[in-house]
């Protein structure tokens, strides 16, 4: 069987997110797993770390690749990304879910096609309207 190297990578920066949400690694872990499952991905493992005095990192290992978040609650900032190989799992579904629960004031991001030669930025989002 031959496998395609095609993949999609969505990376976003969110600003203006509630401190409490960004400083709760356990809650973030639950949300990332939910996002992965909504996108149709297969979760293989989860790592989360709560930092002191604040901040969190969560990495969800997928059969199709990964989804992650790193937060700076004191700045209302979170960096998220989701990379999936193949055409059956859409990383945008996972990212859209996370934006809906984080409710940022601003979102900046890019969508990249990977594994098809030179990486192609398919959409450069400078700013999305607030989700509130």
| CATH code, 26 | 3.60.90.10
For residue 74, the enclosing domain spans: 7-128
User: Is residue 19 one of the residues assigned to a domain?
Assistant: yes
Residue 47 has pLDDT above 80, yes or no: yes
**CA-CA distance, 80 to 74, in Å (whole number)?**
17
How much of the chain, in percent, has pLDDT values that exceed 90? Answer: 77
64 lies in some domain: yes
With respect to residue 1, please indicate whether it lies within any of the assigned structural domains.
Answer: no
2 part of a folded domain: no
In-domain check, residue 78: yes
Total domains, the chain: 1
- pLDDT for residue 129 is more than 60: no
pTM over 0.75: yes
- Residue 70, domain member (yes or no): yes
Q: What pLDDT is recorded for position 131?
A: 44
Catalytic positions are 65, 70, 85
């Amino acid at each position: 069987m031959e496998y395609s190297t095609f993949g999609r990578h969505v990376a976003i920066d969110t600003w203006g997110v509630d401190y409490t949400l960004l400083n709760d690694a356990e809650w973030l872990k639950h949300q990332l797993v939910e996002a992965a499952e909504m996108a149709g991905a297969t979760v293989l493992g989860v790592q989360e770390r709560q930092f002191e005095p604040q901040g969190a990192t969560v990495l969800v290992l997928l059969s199709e690749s990964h989804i992650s978040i790193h937060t700076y609650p004191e700045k209302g900032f979170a960096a998220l990304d989701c990379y999936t190989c193949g055409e059956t799992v859409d990383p945008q579904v996972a990212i859209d879910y996370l934006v809906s629960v984080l409710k940022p004031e601003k979102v900046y991001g890019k969508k990249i096609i990977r594994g098809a030669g030179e990486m192609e930025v398919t959409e450069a989002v400078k700013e999305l309207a607030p989700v509130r």
